[in-house]
């Protein structure tokens, strides 16, 4: 996959139902070229095929136009030709977001009248201009459901008890288990058996951006913990702190 460069206004087809000019920057007099990520085109064509209707999009934004666009992030994926905002007449944006999730799109923003997708590598889902984080739009691939079954709460609690040196290994969390829990934080880049257990549990709960269970608290760990905290009404700091509410929620105590 690569980022392709086209002349603005190029009628060349980039996929069955898309021409290069459809990805052009919408600014006036700001640029002459258009960047288009091939993977983005692939996603859009799949979406086009699935719903069987035209996709109306804005995609590339040159830096000049991006700087003039209200609410645009300076480092927006649009600036690199890696994002598109689009709608399909007669299809609810929520349905599009759900389908995009099911085909493996990692960056999805659901808005009232359109959907943003981009080609980032690690998952970030959000809703609206306030960018409220979302775990899923309901289109998680089936394989993740299987993994959910495979790492139950009981197994997780047992692994935490082992990792944290709890004497009574019963797979049922209580005050004793909680008092032995440790702080897991990317700030300290902590490697710990408990990190591995939390990674596996977060993945099983659908926070798949946590990635491989390698036992090291890194950026993906922080991001997945933050999403979990957001969804569960905990303080959002991306850290699992000894004995706190995030631990209690993870351990199924509350």
Q: Residue 19 Cβ, how far from Zn ion at the closest point, in Å? A: 18
Residue 24 interacts with Zn ion (CB under 5 A): yes or no: no
DSSP bridge partners of 236: none
User: Which of 4, 17, 21, 27: binder of Zn ion (CB under 5 A)?
Assistant: 27
Cβ–Cβ contacts within 10 Å for residue 70, how many?
5
Q: Report the nearest approach of Zn ion to the CB of residue 78 (Å).
A: 6
Q: At what angle do helices 153-163 and 193-204 cross, to 10 degrees?
A: 170
Burial classification of residue 142, based on how many CB atoms lie within 10 Å of its CB (0-12 exposed, 13-18 middle, 19 or more buried): exposed
Binding Zn ion (rule: CB under 5 A), the pick from 22, 24, 37, 85 is 85
Using rule CB under 5 A, residue 8 touches Zn ion: no
Q: Of these, 15, 31, 94, 213, which contacts Zn ion (CB under 5 A)?
A: 31
Write each residue from 46 to 65 as x if it is in contact with Zn ion (CB under 5 A), else as -, in one continuous string: ----------------x--x
Q: What is the rounded distance in angstroms from the CA atom of residue 24 to the CA atom of residue 232? A: 41
Answer whether 178's CB lies under 8 Å from 248's CB: yes
Number of residues lying near Zn ion (CB under 5 A): 9
Segment holding 133, helix H or strand E: strand 132-134
Contact code string over 89-128 relative to Zn ion, x by CB under 5 A: ---------------------------x------------
Nearer to Zn ion, 87 or 245 (CB): 87
From 30, 94, 242, 248, residue interacting with Zn ion (rule: CB under 5 A)? 30
Nearer to Zn ion by Cβ, of 58 and 223: the residue is: 58
User: For residue 108, which phi and psi values (nearest 5 degrees)?
Assistant: -135, 125
25 part of the interface to Zn ion, by CB under 5 A: yes
Question: From the CA atom positions of the chain, what is the Rg in Å?
Answer: 21
65 or 134: CB nearest Zn ion: 65
Phi first, then psi: give them for residue 164, nearest 5 degrees.
-105, 5
Name which of 85 and 209 has its Cβ closer to Zn ion.
Answer: 85
Query: The dihedral of CA 4, 10, 12, 15: what is its sign?
Result: positive
Which residues of the shown chain bind Zn ion in the complex (CB under 5 A)?
25, 27, 30-31, 62, 65, 83, 85, 116
């Amino acid at each position: 996959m690569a980022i392709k460069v086209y002349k603005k206004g190029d009628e060349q087809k980039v996929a069955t139902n898309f021409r290069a000019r459809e990805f052009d920057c919408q600014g006036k007099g700001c640029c002459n070229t258009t960047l288009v990520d091939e993977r983005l085109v692939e996603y859009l064509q799949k979406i086009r095929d699935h719903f069987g209707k035209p996709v109306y999009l804005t995609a590339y934004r040159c830096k000049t136009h991006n700087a003039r666009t209200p609410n645009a992030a300076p480092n927006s994926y649009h600036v690199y030709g890696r994002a598109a905002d689009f709608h399909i007449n007669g299809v609810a944006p929520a349905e599009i977001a759900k389908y995009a999730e099911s085909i493996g799109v990692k960056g999805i923003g659901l808005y009232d009248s359109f959907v943003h997708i981009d080609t980032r590598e690690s998952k970030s889902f959000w809703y609206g201009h306030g960018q409220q984080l979302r775990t899923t739009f309901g289109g998680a691939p089936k394989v993740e459901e299987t993994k959910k079954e495979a790492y139950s709460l009981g197994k997780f609690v047992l692994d935490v008890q082992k990792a944290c040196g709890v004497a009574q290994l019963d797979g049922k969390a209580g005050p004793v288990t909680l008092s032995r829990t440790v702080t897991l934080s990317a700030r300290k880049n902590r490697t710990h058996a408990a990190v591995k257990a939390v990674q596996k549990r977060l993945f099983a709960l659908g926070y798949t951006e946590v990635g491989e269970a390698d036992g090291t608290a890194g950026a993906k760990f922080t991001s997945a913990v933050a999403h979990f905290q957001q969804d569960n009404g905990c303080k959002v700091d991306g850290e699992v702190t000894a004995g706190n509410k995030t631990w209690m929620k993870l351990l199924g105590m509350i």
